[in-house]
Amino acid sequence: MRACRIRSLFFVVFVLCMSAVSFAQVGLEITIAPPPLPVYEQPVCPGDGYIWTPGYWAWDSDFDDYYWVPGTWVLAPEVGSLWTPPYWGWGGNGFIFYPGYWGPQIGFYGGINYGYGYFGNGYWGGRWDHGHFFYNRSVTNINVTNIHNVYDTRVNNPGINHVSYNGGHGGIDTRPTPEQEAAAHERHIPPVEAQTKHMQEARSNPQQRASVNMGRPSIAATEKPNDFKGRGVVPAREAGAPYTPPNRSNTNAARTNTATHVKDLPPLERPTSPNTGNAKLDKKYQQQQEKQYSKQQQERQKLAQQQQKEDQRMAKQNVQETQRQQMEQRHQQQTMQMQQRQQQEQKQMQQRMQPQSHAAPESHGGTEHH
C-alpha cells in the first residue's frame, strides 16, 4: 500500500518525562499515513503469565519519522488483565494515536489485524481461567514442554491485511461495538514500565525508523521487552507493502498542542438554516438541528464538569506526577473522542439533508423516513 501523502494531524504517545517514565500526547502535522504493518514471525512465549503485545508504528517528533515498536511478550500486571493494542485512527482532520492499555476486557483497537490472536476484534490467543492464563496453540507460538496450560481452538482469521490505521483514505472501515465502547470506560492500567522502556529502546534505534528500514524493520519482534540483542530477536520477513518515505522538505511537522479539557475547545457553532426549497422540510430540519445542538451542548457541559471535579480532587490529594499525567491523558482522550463524535453527528445530519433537496412534492402523500 502506497503511503497517502495527505496533510494529516497525528498524535504521539510515549514521551519520556524527566526521570519518571510516563505517557503524554503531542500534536503533530505531517504528510503521510502510518506505514503498512510488516510481516514477521512471533517469537516463542518465554513462560507462564506472559501475554503477547503486537508491534506497531509510533511517531518520533525529533526525527519527523515513524519507528517500529517490536511486538513482544509482556508479563500481565495483574491476574485477569488483557492487553488492548494501540492504533491510529482518522479523526476527520487527521490521524489520531490511541494508546494501548491493560484491562479486564479487550477494547476497540481500530479493527487492525495485528495477527497472532489480534485479528481486529478481541483476542483469540489465550484466556484467563481460575487465575491462570491458558494459551491457544492454534494462533500463538508456545513450547508445550515448558508451558502446559494450553488449548487448541481454531480461529477464523478474517484475512491478511497489513493496513495499520482505521478510517480515512485506505483505512480499515470498522467502528467500535457497544461492548467495546463500554470496555473503554472500565478501569485501565497504562503500559507497564517494561513496555515504556521497550518503546524507548525502539525509538533510540535508527534502524527502527521507517525511512531507514523502508517498512521492513530488522527487529520486528522480541521474546522479552527491551531485549533487542538476545536470541529471541525476530526480523521482519518483508514489508507489508511497498513504502516510500516522505520528502523531508515537504514534511512540515509543525507542532500544535491539542485540547486536553472540554473547556479548551472552541464553542460549538450554531447550525446554519437549511435551504432545500421546501419550507416544511426546512422547518423540520431546523428543529432537528437545534435539538442536536442542544444535546451536544449538554454533553460538553456534563463532561467539562466531570473533568473539573476530577482535577479539583486530584489537586487536593498528594498523588504522584505519573498519576496526574495519566489523568490528563485520559481527559485529553475523552475530549478528542467527544469532539470527533459530535463532528461525525453533524456530518451525518448534513448528509441526511442533502437527498431531500430532490425529494418528490409532499402533495404525493409519501412518508419520510430519517
Ramachandran category for residue 200: left, alpha or beta (phi over 0 → left; psi -120 to 50 → alpha):
alpha
**Rounded to two decimals, what is the model's pTM?**
0.65
Task: Work out the mean pLDDT of the chain and round it to a whole number.
Answer: 81
Which of the four pLDDT bands, split at 50, 70 and 90, describes residue 92?
A: low
Share of the chain above pLDDT 70, in %: 81
Q: Is 172 or 94 the better-scoring residue by pLDDT?
A: 172
Q: What number of other Cβ atoms are within 10 A of residue 175's Cβ?
A: 13
User: At 270, which helix (H) or strand (E)?
Assistant: none
Q: Which residue has the higher pLDDT, 296 or 250?
A: 296
Q: Which three cell numbers stand for residue 46?
A: 518465554
pLDDT of 24: 33
Q: What backbone torsions phi and psi does residue 30 show, to the nearest 5 degrees? A: -135, -175
CB 115 within 8 A of CB 54: yes
**How many whole angstroms separate alpha carbon 28 and alpha carbon 96?**
10
Kindly report, residue by residue over 126-184, the tens digit of the pLDDT: 999 999 999 999 999 999 898 999 999 998 877 778 999 998 888 999 999 999 988 88
Rounded-to-integer distance, Cα 105 and Cα 355, Å:
41
Closest alpha carbon to 191 in 323, 101, 109, 320: 101
Give 225: exposed, middle or buried? Use CB within 10 Å, 0-12, 13-18, 19+.
buried
pLDDT band at 257 (very low <50, low <70, confident <90, very high): very low
Highest mean pLDDT among 161-165, 337-341, 360-364: 161-165
Report the pLDDT value the prediction gives residue 252, as an integer from 0 to 100: 44
Least confident window among 23-27, 80-84, 322-326: 23-27
What radius of gyration, in Å, describes the C-alpha atoms of the chain? 23
Rounded to whole angstroms, the Cα distance separating 188 from 81 reads 9
Position 202 scores a pLDDT of 95
SS (H, E, C) 38-89: CECCCCCCCCCCEEEECCEEEEECCCCEEEEECEEEEECCCCCCEEECCEEE
| Mean of pLDDT values over 193-222 | 95
67 pLDDT above the threshold of 60:
yes
47 confidence band (pLDDT: 50, 70, 90): very high
Looking at residue 347, what is its pLDDT? 81
Sheet of strand 50-53, all strands in order from the earlier edge strand to the far edge: 50-53, 71-75, 221-222
341 pLDDT exceeds 60?
yes
Which pLDDT does position 225 carry in this prediction?
Answer: 95
